[in-house]
Amino acid sequence: MDSTDNTAQAVDYTARSLAAEVGLALLVLTSLLCSSSSEPFTLDDTALVYVVTYTDKDDAWTTAESSRLTARLVEASLADDKLDEFITQCLLHDTLRPLFSKSSTRLTASGRPLQISRPPSGMQSMTSLDNISQEHEKLHAASGFKWAVMSCSKAAVGRHWPLFLPILLSLVEDHNTAVRVKGLRILGHFLDKCPPNTILSAGVDNVIQDAVFPTLLFLPSTTPENESIELLYPAYRVLLQVAQLDPDVKSLRRRRFLDKLLRDGIFVGHYHASQHARIVEVLMNITKDIISCLGIFTAKHLQVNIIGIVNIITAAY
């Protein structure tokens, strides 16, 4: 990954997180002072777009108290019947989609998978956020998107998935490690929300596979070991989720993809990074999960698996 990938992580968020907490506390106090039974205080959509970026207490710029205050403001401003509409129209369609939009070889302009993928142009497409030098702007936007995925109803996600997909692809293919990791985790939440039949029938599973699979090859020495580990776990987890969207363990489509995950993911990864014990540990942990999914169909890979395990054991001496 690029040496500038740690830009976002290098930002000192201590003062910013405390300032945000104070600002959110003032908003809550204002809402208490200005509300009445006939006219409750609510934030407008523009303000809410900014506020929801402080919902995740795991973000460096968000304290636990900020997250609690944000949840209170959102609950007071968005009734249940307005939540999905705000997410799909204001946050996704009007705000985040334009920020993360880029020409895609996999999607139509409406966000649906292309029946025939266009060949790549040779130059990576840019989003409007790529022009911003501070990578933390992308992370802020991604936090708002994570809230959207987590808060939107399953029914709305199933209907409006083309609004989510372009943003997801932009995040999981980002050159910045922190952004890509966050995108992979959000993609996992999306797969939990979107009905499996919708994903499979529309061909979204193939689009996700094509977007995520290259991350499996972010290995030492081209990628720092710590960053590689950060990326490998969520990438493999997402691909395992995709494989299991088809509940039929005998499904040829499912078996072929799990075979590919072992052959072109685990085995290739071990070949290129066998000298890195922590990477091998990650690959072995994921191998266990893939074998669990394949069951008896793992048999054809046993020879390679056994050779790999023997190599790992003998390398310790």
Residue partners of 138: CB distance under 8 A and separation at least 6: 8, 129, 132, 174, 176, 179
Mean pLDDT score of the chain: 85
* Domains of the chain, residue spans: 3-114+132-214
Query: Does the pLDDT of residue 313 top 70, yes or no?
Result: no
HSE (side-chain half, CA atoms, 13 Å) at 226: 3
- Give the DSSP per-residue string, 86-105: IIIIIIIIIIIHHHH----S
Q: CA angle 207-140-27, nearest 5°?
A: 135
In the block, tokens 């990326």 appear at 231
Give backbone dihedrals phi and psi of 42, rounded to 5 degrees, phi first.
-135, 150
Neighbours of 186 (CB within 10 A): 25
Runs of H (alpha helix) within the chain: 7-10, 14-34, 45-51, 64-77, 80-85, 97-100, 136-151, 154-172, 177-193, 196-202, 204-212, 225-243, 252-260, 268-273, 277-294, 302-315
Task: Please check whether residue 216 is in contact with residue 236, taking contact to mean a CB–CB distance below 8 angstroms.
Answer: yes
In terms of pLDDT, which residue wins out, 152 or 99? 152
* The pLDDT value given to residue 81: 86
Query: Does the pLDDT of residue 302 top 80, yes or no?
Result: no
CA distance 256 to 198: 20
| Confidence band for 222, pLDDT divided at 50, 70 and 90 | very high
| Confidence band for 128, pLDDT divided at 50, 70 and 90 | low
Kindly list the distances between the CA atom of residue 209 and the CA atoms of 127, 241, 242, 261, in Å, as whole numbers in the listed order.
21, 11, 8, 10
Kindly list the distances between the CA atom of residue 27 and the CA atoms of 22, 41, 52, 257, 308, in Å, as whole numbers in the listed order.
9, 10, 13, 50, 58
Judged by phi (left if over 0) then psi (alpha if -120 to 50, else beta), residue 156 lies in alpha
Highest mean pLDDT among 113-117, 123-127, 231-235, 275-279: 231-235
* The pLDDT value given to residue 96: 94
- Of the listed ranges 136-140, 191-195, 277-281, the least confidently predicted one is 136-140
| Confidence band for 240, pLDDT divided at 50, 70 and 90 | very high
- Of the listed ranges 117-121, 138-142, 166-170, the least confidently predicted one is 117-121
